[in-house]
């Protein structure tokens, strides 16, 4: 046992070092990827902005400036009214252009419907909190809540709020008489919290202890919400950290308020006295009776008013108090209005009279202009859109700097001055609607705005009926602001004084409190630390200096030990990494030398990638290397060895005769569902053989005759779209339309999709397209570096489960529906043929869906590109197009209804055109196979664990097999010409047992499209047609800039 423990003690540090090296490597890759992604993000959108730092984005600049509002003021001066910044890894487009703001918040609201808020509350039902609810859920809840804020409902709520003011007034009056200081902000917060608990949670208790506990719970929740908002802006990654830190929400506070609200709801229902209450909770209970809101949703909205209403309301009261204290002439005018309108009535306030105080309303509006409750508005971008020439990309964020907009001198002359008269009706009409956003604007405008304003007005009226505010020497005449997402106020002014009418009482809490603390210090030996420019006093008690010194020494020692340990681990990690690189380099140098295969010398770590990146064009690379090293040579893609073969006899043996030594494709797909390992393109060995044998009968001529009408039924929409574009444009970008057609066809044929719903169809197309793009990206990354596959599992390159789930669910619903219906006349699509195979026990449902995904991955991009390339070649070779149109016209005699599988097969020249298209532009530019066992072919050694690569694109341009290989000559594919060539000199779909199973289906689909198009139109070259065509030379060949041709109707 002791020996085992000793061995474990030796292994543990090594394991730690290995894990550390892996973590450092992955983190470095993530940082580098994120940095280059950030550099390109706004450049692609043509939006200016400061260059971000790696990992930190633009935060270093922001921290240097400090003031959030000053930051945006400086950036707007330099980059204009629309610019981009990064808060760590999160991109935000800052917008201060009023027309764009109006479109974002109102006209184009559908593209920016959701707030970006990092709240993940401890109870699931709290996802219905209105401020964070999303899309249709938000819309439903908003519609149910809106009637609660009409004037009639607010009349009922006013007495509840007003009943909370006497306690506040009593404290102010008492302090005035005793000439004591008052923490105005603290008092405002207590009032706001008490009012919200009463109005939104139905709290009616005289127990000070119970009240204190509820206020504590509410304050704690709001504090954590604000903290999470700030942390999220700085770093979304940090949100994962705070779930395990003191920053996380405490369940007991939510539980306390949740239980209180449920008890009130239960009590009111039991007592049947619901009509006696007029608070928000009661109004929501009525909505519950009408089936609009559940109890969980009612409580979620109570939390909405707590989160969105507490701090802003308290701050607004504090700010109004401050501006009145610093502008006595305005305070006098306001007091005069209150006295005139209310005639010294101090009993019940009337809602209409409060609303009739026009000057009070102007004072309120100007106060929230200068000190808006929220300094910014943030919206997520739901989909790509263009506004006023600016591109906004799905997944990004919009930030509107409200504070800066409210201080824009073009809209607000002398913006730092407090001038309530800015809000006369005449003045308001002069300004842009988006220049005043204290509560937002548009559908997502603050729902509780009228309630919050009414609450503040009640407090100000009640105070000014009895006392006035006055500045004292300690009052900050230029208020220092903490410009976080919520602008905080009273804790920044030192501030004011209030006075009973005729009796001034100083409220300079800072001077009074510090004096008292100093007296305590001299009498008890206790020290207090007072935090500058804040209201709350922070206490630091130190009883024994010796103990403090010892703790400090222990802390220093602990930090030194941790630092040395970290440095030791880092040095060890770097040393091991260096050893791994050196070992890998010498291993690579010897790999092909031992096999007697020539090739270029690899670099450490990067293999032959530096040379490849220098050349750029993947096909040109293989052309150059073949000239230098011959028909068989070796290269390293990073650390992965690939033997490249252009010798036809060896290719024939690899793909056909010695297939058992090269049976599997080398693909990096690790899909999110285990059953997807049965996808035919990545299935391996016996599993692949079994599935292939069951699927092969699906692609006979007889089965394709049944699928033919389904594909043909999709062509009218394509023809119509091209016809419309051709009439209105000299040049039409056809590749996008062909991609849409190919995707829709595969969804119909392979997934059984039959829907007229454009929304559902677009979601399925989005899912399919997203999966394809990630598959292609992973293919490229895998060829470059298998190490990167581990990195992408923690990056945006990884597959998104929701896209697979959407297609998976659709296919399973169709399978279930067809089995239930037992219709004999069901569609003969691929899905149905596989369902019938499943009846014989040949395929499970999981394997059926896996093969549907196979046809999506292998068939979508390749089919769309084949149609695009054929269109391009016909446009650039009009004599070939004329000959093909003549063949089609002769075969169908102008008829468009009698197209069928056999007639398509009889179009010999069409087949030659298709084959020559696939020669010039093969779908797959390379074929890759793993080497399953050591084998010798034609004198060359192939080692187990290595890879074979066949450069199809280069083979298709071999002048020994294809004279004038760059010319488009369909006649190369007459029977006579085909017999002259080596069988493996033409590999658009591969060859041998692993040849593309869907080849005949793909060929049929392309031919149907070409026939249908050429029956109605012809293609021509325009000024925008690329000659020669620029290609994206990845494993799947595609046009880099799309394909633009002219369309002329026949």
Residue 431 vs residues 368, 409, 439, 682: alpha-carbon distances, Å: 16, 12, 17, 63
For position 116, what pLDDT does the model report?
Answer: 77
- Determine the Cα–Cα distance for residues 69 and 412; give it in Å rounded to an integer: 17
Q: Which of 123-127, 571-575, 646-650 has the lowest mean pLDDT?
A: 571-575
pLDDT in tens, 866-911: 999 999 999 999 999 999 999 999 998 877 677 888 999 999 999 9
227 sits in which H/E element: helix 208-234
Q: Which residue has the higher pLDDT, 406 or 541?
A: 406
Contact predicate 811/52, CB 8 Å: no
Beta 397-400 vs 90-95: how paired, if at all? parallel
For position 566, what pLDDT does the model report?
Answer: 56
Query: DSSP characters for 912-980?
Result: HHHHHHHHHS-SBSEEEEE--S-EEETTEEE-TT-EEEEEHHHHTT-TTTSSSTTS--GGGGSHHHHHH
Q: Which residue has the higher pLDDT, 943 or 528?
A: 943
Say how many Å lie between the first and final Cα of the chain, rounded. 89
Neighbouring C-beta atoms of residue 454, cutoff 10 Å = 22
In the block, tokens 């005759």 appear at 705
Contact predicate 460/360, CB 8 Å: yes
pLDDT in tens, 531-571: 223 222 222 222 333 344 444 444 444 454 455 555 555 66
Contact predicate 688/680, CB 8 Å: yes
Place 292 in a pLDDT band, splitting at 50, 70 and 90: confident
- Determine the Cα–Cα distance for residues 884 and 895; give it in Å rounded to an integer: 16
Q: Which residue has the higher pLDDT, 292 or 636?
A: 636
Predicted TM-score (pTM) of the model is 0.50
Share of the chain above pLDDT 70, in %: 73
Contact predicate 258/281, CB 8 Å: no
For position 518, what pLDDT does the model report?
Answer: 30
Beta 947-951 vs 640-645: how paired, if at all? parallel
**pLDDT value at 407 more than 80:** yes
Torsion angles phi and psi, residue 1016, rounded to 5: -115, -20
Place 235 in a pLDDT band, splitting at 50, 70 and 90: very low
Query: DSSP characters for 202-216?
Result: ------HHHHHHHHH
Q: Which residues contact 438 (CB under 8 A, 6 or more apart)?
A: 368, 369, 372, 373, 374, 402, 406
For position 809, what pLDDT does the model report?
Answer: 81
- Determine the Cα–Cα distance for residues 894 and 908; give it in Å rounded to an integer: 18
State which of 179-188, 263-272, 435-444, 606-615 shows the largest mean pLDDT: 435-444
Instruction: Summarize the confidence of residues 377-393 as an average pLDDT.
Output: 93
Q: Which of 43-47, 148-152, 227-231 has the lowest mean pLDDT?
A: 227-231
Query: What's the mean pLDDT when you consider all of the chain?
Result: 79
- Determine the Cα–Cα distance for residues 942 and 236; give it in Å rounded to an integer: 49
Structure tokens at 157: 């709520």
- Determine the Cα–Cα distance for residues 807 and 679; give it in Å rounded to an integer: 14
For position 579, what pLDDT does the model report?
Answer: 67
Q: Which residue has the higher pLDDT, 972 or 532?
A: 972
Place 306 in a pLDDT band, splitting at 50, 70 and 90: confident
Torsion angles phi and psi, residue 662, rounded to 5: -140, 55
DSSP 8-state code for residue 274: G
Note the Cα 613 to chain centre separation in Å.
31
Instruction: Summarize the confidence of residues 263-283 as an average pLDDT.
Output: 79
Q: Which residue has the higher pLDDT, 608 or 438?
A: 438
Structure tokens at 19: 């894990």
- Determine the Cα–Cα distance for residues 104 and 400; give it in Å rounded to an integer: 10
Neighbouring C-beta atoms of residue 783, cutoff 10 Å = 22
Instruction: Summarize the confidence of residues 507-514 as an average pLDDT.
Output: 29
Q: Is 259 exposed, middle or buried (0-12, 13-18, 19+ CB in 10 A)?
A: exposed
Answer whether the bond into residue 656 is a cis peptide, omega within 30°.
no
In the block, tokens 């200068």 appear at 370
**pLDDT value at 300 more than 90:** no
Contact predicate 373/315, CB 8 Å: yes
In 3-state terms, the chain is what percent helix, strand and coil (to 5)?
60, 10, 30
Beta bridge partner(s), residue 85: 92
State which of 137-151, 467-481, 963-977 shows the largest mean pLDDT: 963-977
392 sits in which H/E element: strand 390-392
Structure tokens at 641: 């060895």
pLDDT in tens, 127-174: 888 888 889 999 999 998 998 889 889 998 999 999 889 988 888 888
- Determine the Cα–Cα distance for residues 191 and 310; give it in Å rounded to an integer: 9
3-state helix/strand/coil string of 609-628: HHHHHHHCCHHHHHHHHHHH
Contact predicate 931/947, CB 8 Å: yes
Q: Which residue has the higher pLDDT, 32 or 439?
A: 439
Q: For residue 707, give the 3-state DSSP assignment.
A: helix
- Determine the Cα–Cα distance for residues 166 and 163; give it in Å rounded to an integer: 7
**pLDDT value at 374 more than 50:** yes
Structure tokens at 454: 């009414």
For position 489, what pLDDT does the model report?
Answer: 38
2 sits in which H/E element: helix 2-44
Share of the chain above pLDDT 90, in %: 37
For position 792, what pLDDT does the model report?
Answer: 45
pLDDT in tens, 906-931: 999 999 999 999 999 998 889 999 99
For position 620, what pLDDT does the model report?
Answer: 85
Place 1001 in a pLDDT band, splitting at 50, 70 and 90: very high
Q: For residue 94, give the 3-state DSSP assignment.
A: strand
Q: Which of 254-258, 624-628, 797-801, 841-845 has the lowest mean pLDDT?
A: 797-801
**pLDDT value at 118 more than 70:** no
In the block, tokens 């990056």 appear at 795
Q: Which of 240-249, 296-305, 396-405, 972-981 has the lowest mean pLDDT?
A: 240-249
Of 314, 206, 297, 211, give the one whose Cα is nearest residue 258.
297
pLDDT in tens, 10-22: 444 444 555 555 5
Residue 257 vs residues 117, 452, 496: alpha-carbon distances, Å: 22, 21, 34
* 250: Cα within 13 Å, side-chain hemisphere: 15
- Angle, helices 295-326 vs 251-271, to 10°: value is 110
For position 530, what pLDDT does the model report?
Answer: 26
Q: Which residue has the higher pLDDT, 365 or 470?
A: 365
- Determine the Cα–Cα distance for residues 990 and 970; give it in Å rounded to an integer: 20
**pLDDT value at 470 more than 70:** yes
Beta 926-930 vs 1044-1049: how paired, if at all? unpaired
Q: Which residue has the higher pLDDT, 558 or 365?
A: 365
Q: Which of 80-94, 102-116, 221-235, 608-622 has the lowest mean pLDDT?
A: 221-235
């Amino acid at each position: 046992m002791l020996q085992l423990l000793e061995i474990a003690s030796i292994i543990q540090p090594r394991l730690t070092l290995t894990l550390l090296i892996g973590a450092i490597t992955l983190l470095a890759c993530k940082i580098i990827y994120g940095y280059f992604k950030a550099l390109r993000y706004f450049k692609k959108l043509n939006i200016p902005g400061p260059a971000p730092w790696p990992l930190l984005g633009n935060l270093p600049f922001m921290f240097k400036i400090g003031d959030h509002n000053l930051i945006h003021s400086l950036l707007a001066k330099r980059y204009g009214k629309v610019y981009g910044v990064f808060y760590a890894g999160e991109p935000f487009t800052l917008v201060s252009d009023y027309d764009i703001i109006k479109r974002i918040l109102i006209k184009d609201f559908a593209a920016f419907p959701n707030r970006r808020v990092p709240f993940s509350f401890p109870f699931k039902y709290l996802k219905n909190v209105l401020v964070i609810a999303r899309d249709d859920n938000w819309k439903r809840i908003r519609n149910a809540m809106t009637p609660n804020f009409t004037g009639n409902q607010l009349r009922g709520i006013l007495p509840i709020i007003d009943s909370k003011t006497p306690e506040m007034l009593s404290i102010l009056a008492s302090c005035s008489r005793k000439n004591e200081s008052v923490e105005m902000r603290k008092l405002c917060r207590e009032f706001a919290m008490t009012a919200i608990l009463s109005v939104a949670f139905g709290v009616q208790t005289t127990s000070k202890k119970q009240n204190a506990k509820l206020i504590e719970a509410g304050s704690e929740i709001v504090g954590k919400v604000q903290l999470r908002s700030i942390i999220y802006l700085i770093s979304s990654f940090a949100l994962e950290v705070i779930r395990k830190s003191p920053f996380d929400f405490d369940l007991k506070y939510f539980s306390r308020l949740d239980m209180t609200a449920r008890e009130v709801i239960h009590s009111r229902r039991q007592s049947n006295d619901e009509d006696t209450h007029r608070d928000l909770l009661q109004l929501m209970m009525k909505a519950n009776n009408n089936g609009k809101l559940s109890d969980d949703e009612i409580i979620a909205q109570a939390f909405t008013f707590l989160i969105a209403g507490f701090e802003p309301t308290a701050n607004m009261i504090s700010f109004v108090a401050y501006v009145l204290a610093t502008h006595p002439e305005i305070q006098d005018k306001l007091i005069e209005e209150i006295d005139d309108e209310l005639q010294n009535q101090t009993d019940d306030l009337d809602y209409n009279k409060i609303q009739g105080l026009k000057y009070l309303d102007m004072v309120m509006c100007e106060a929230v202009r200068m000190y808006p409750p929220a300094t910014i508005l943030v919206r997520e971008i739901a989909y790509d859109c263009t506004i006023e020439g600016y591109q906004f990309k799905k997944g990004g964020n919009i930030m509107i700097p409200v504070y800066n907009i409210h201080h824009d001198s073009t809209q607000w002359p002398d913006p730092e001055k407090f001038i309530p008269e800015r809000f006369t009706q005449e003045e308001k009409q002069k300004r842009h609607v988006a220049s005043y956003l204290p509560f937002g604007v548009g559908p997502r405008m603050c729902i509780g705005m009228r309630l919050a304003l009414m609450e503040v007005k009640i407090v100000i009226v009640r105070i000014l009926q009895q006392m006035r505010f006055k500045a004292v020497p300690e009052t900050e005449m230029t208020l220092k602001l903490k410009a976080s997402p919520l602008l905080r106020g009273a804790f920044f002014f030192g501030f004011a004084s209030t006075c009973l009418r005729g009796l001034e009482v100083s409220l300079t809490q800072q001077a009074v409190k510090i004096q008292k603390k100093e007296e305590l210090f001299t009498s008890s030996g206790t020290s207090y630390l007072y935090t500058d420019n804040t209201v709350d006093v922070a206490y630091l008690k130190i009883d024994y200096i010796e103990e403090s010194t010892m703790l400090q020494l222990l802390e220093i020692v602990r930090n030194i030990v941790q630092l040395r340990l970290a440095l030791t681990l880092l040095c060890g990690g770097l040393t091991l990494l260096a050893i791994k690189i050196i070992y890998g380099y010498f291993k690579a140098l010897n790999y092909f030398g031992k096999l007697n295969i020539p090739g270029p010398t690899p670099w450490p770590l990067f293999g032959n990638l530096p040379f490849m990146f220098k050349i750029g064009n993947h096909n040109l690379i293989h052309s150059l290397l073949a000239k230098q090293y011959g028909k068989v040579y070796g290269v390293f893609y990073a650390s992965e060895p690939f033997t490249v073969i252009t010798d036809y006899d060896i290719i024939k043996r690899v793909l056909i005769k010695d297939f058992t030594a090269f049976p599997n494709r080398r693909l990096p797909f690790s899909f999110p569902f285990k059953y997807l390992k049965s996808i035919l393109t990545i299935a391996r060995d016996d599993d692949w053989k079994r599935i292939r044998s069951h699927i092969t009968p699906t692609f006979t001529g007889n089965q394709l005759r049944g699928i033919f009408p389904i594909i043909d039924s999709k062509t009218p929409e394509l023809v119509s779209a091209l016809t419309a574009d051709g009439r209105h444009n000299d040049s039409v970008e056809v590749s996008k339309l062909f991609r849409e057609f190919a995707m829709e066809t595969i969804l119909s044929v392979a997934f059984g999709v039959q829907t007229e719903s454009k929304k559902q169809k677009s979601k399925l197309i989005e899912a399919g397209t997203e999966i394809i793009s990630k598959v292609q990206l992973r293919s490229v990354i895998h060829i470059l570096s298998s190490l990167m596959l581990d990195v992408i599992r923690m990056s945006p390159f990884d597959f998104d489960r929701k896209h697979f789930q959407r297609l998976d669910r659709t296919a399973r619903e169709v399978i279930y529906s067809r089995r239930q219906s037992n219709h004999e006349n069901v569609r003969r699509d691929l899905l149905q043929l596989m369902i019938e195979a499943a009846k014989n026990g040949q395929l499970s449902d999981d394997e059926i869906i896996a093969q549907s995904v196979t046809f999506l991955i292998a068939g979508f991009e390749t089919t769309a590109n084949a149609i695009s390339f054929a269109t391009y070649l016909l446009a650039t070779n009009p004599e070939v197009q004329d000959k093909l149109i003549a063949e089609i016209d002769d075969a169908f005699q102008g008829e468009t209804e009698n197209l069928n599988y056999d007639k398509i097969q009889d179009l010999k020249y069409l087949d030659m055109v298709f084959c020559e298209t696939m020669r010039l532009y093969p779908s797959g530019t390379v074929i890759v196979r793993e080497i399953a066992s050591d084998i010798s072919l034609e004198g060359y050694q192939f080692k187990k664990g290595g890879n074979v690569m066949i450069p199809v694109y280069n083979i298709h341009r071999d002048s020994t097999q294809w004279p004038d290989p760059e010319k488009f000559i369909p006649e190369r594919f007459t029977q006579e010409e085909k017999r002259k060539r080596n069988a493996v000199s033409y590999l658009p779909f591969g060859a041998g047992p692993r040849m593309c199973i869907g080849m005949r289906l793909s060929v049929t689909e392309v031919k149907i499209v070409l026939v249908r198009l050429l029956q109605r139109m012809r293609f021509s070259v325009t000024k925008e047609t690329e000659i020669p065509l620029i290609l994206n030379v990845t494993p799947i060949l595609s046009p880099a800039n799309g394909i633009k041709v002219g369309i002329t109707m026949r």
